[in-house]
A and B are shown apart, each in its own frame.
Chain A
Amino acid sequence: MLSELKTNSSYKRLSSKPINVLESLIQIWYSLELIKAFVRRDIKIRYAQTSLGVIWLFAQPLAYLFAIFFVFNTSFESRIDNLPYSLFAATGLMIWTYVSFTTTQTGNSLLGSLEIIRKTYFPRIIIPIAKSILGLIDLSVICFFTFVLLMYHQVSISMNILALPLILFFTTIVSMGIGTLVSILIVRFRDLQHIIPFSMQLGLFISPVIYPSTVVTNDLPGYLQYVYYLNPVSGLIDAVRWSILGLEVNIMGVVISCAAGLIILSISMLLFNRIERDLSDKL
């Protein structure tokens, strides 16, 4: 019964019965204010006490891109599919930076919010959601620099660009799915905390961030190609390169990546819903 939900802030019924997925979605909708508050707080904590403050936001992606720009554009003059390498790398980094940031941040978020979880109630899923939104700031900065590079190299964009918001939206929900799954696992197995940084380094190499996916898939026989796309990041990066740079894309690969991403998201949401109520007792 909807009327029994926490949606109506003036009536609550608490019992041993867990809430279902639909009910938790409704709760999220009613918690938008709180999500905003978490994001605002995270932004402030991130830049509190640093003398440069928000400038750091631009410093990191700029440093990345400058390094790539100078090393590859000037020294090697390397081009991929007739495109400057810096553009190629920037589009890969756009997705990868977001995925790795969100996975790391979200992954540690439940354990890191231990104190709040033990002392007050709110839909716990807000914590991972807020972290995914936080990552959007960095994503926009890299996006901005990518378009600056596009203009610098006078590369024209096509209608494919219209799909970019959809691809980025997909990136956010898939990253949230991965991050939430990691955060649940970390609550259960604390050991995993130490594996995340390593996995992120590994992920950089098994995803087509600094190389084109064709380097891997061209040498793979038949259906084995698609195994590469079981990593959702592979398909997402290919899709972004198709959207911004107009590169050819392995449609089946992207579909597999999207499906894999959605499956991870569903599993993590279902698991989260199951463990949410136990969190304060288990943490």
Chain B
Amino acid sequence: MSLLLSVKNLSKVYKLNKAEMNSFRETFRSIFNRQEQIRNEFFALNLASFDLSSGEILGITGPNGAGKSTLLKILSEVTYPTSGEVEIFGRVASMLEIGTGFHPELTGRENVFFNASLLGMNRAETEQKFDQILAFSEIGEFIDTPIKRYSSGMYVRLAFSVAIHTHVDLFLIDEVLAVGDINFQEKCKDKMKELSAAGAGIILVSHNQRMLEEFTSRLLLIDGGEIIFDGNTNEGLKLYGRNLD
């Protein structure tokens, strides 16, 4: 078990502008109206530190607006922290959304290649994994059909297959498993357990208690941008349940 992720005193402050100055008119107005420029600061995240080792599956839960997604966004480098530091020892695949960059006019195959490169795979690696991705997705012959003709289930299956087949050490998953039918969900869980057994770390943000219970051993409870619990999943969920009542 080696260290995969180390988060130290992370914080993220959003500035709440009264007027988002997206147009000339608003900019001019704000020049003459100084009061509008006074900004409210909002701590989206103000965390203590935590670590993640390889092979660990960490669940993150908490009420809406607690800062779960902000944390995941920072870990995926979509946004940056206001203070504090994150160290990641390995390659990361972030699934803030599955099928990022999927274009409706392109075929399943073309989208797989583009999506895989966004996840950090090069063309040769994707070609090598392509058969596995295709088989896992159960898309079959429709792989060469533009994905605008796919059902939402097919779309999700294909997108998830690409993500799960990337060569990475750390998976960041934001509530994306909630989609797809039961069979496919089970298949994804099995695949992720397999990956974690092989040493990959997984961070799963979810509201689904059952999913967290059966899938994760460690839970991070976040509320108001702070970690209020870090430990055994069952204990964490009990605490969360009590707080809700």
Contact = CB atoms under 8 A, between A and B. Distances in A.
A255 to B, nearest CB: 35
Contacts of A188: 21-22
Contacts of A18: 80
Contact of B97 (A9, A45, A119, A189): A119
Contacts of A49: 105, 146
Contacts of A281: 14, 79
A12 B88 contact: yes
Interface stretch (B112-120, B203-211, B217-225, B235-243): B112-120
Interface in B92-130: 92, 94, 96-97, 100-101, 103, 105-106, 110, 113-114, 117-120, 122-123
B84 A15 contact: yes
Contacts of A12: 77, 86-88, 92
Interface in A1-53: 9-16, 18, 33-34, 36-38, 40-41, 44-45, 48-49
B84 A10 contact: no
Interface string B46-86: 00000000000000000000000000011111111111111
A191 interface: yes
Contacts of B101: 41, 115-116, 120
B100 to A, nearest CB: 4
B86 A15 contact: yes
B106 A118 contact: no
Contacts of A16: 80-84
Contacts of A280: 73, 78-79
B42 interface: no
A281 B122 CA distance: 28
A56 interface: no
B231 interface: no
Interface of B: 14, 21-25, 27, 73-92, 94, 96-97, 100-101, 103, 105-106, 110, 113-114, 117-120, 122-123, 146, 169
Per CB-CB distance, the 3 closest pairs between chain A and chain B, nearest first, are A121-B77, A37-B117, A48-B105
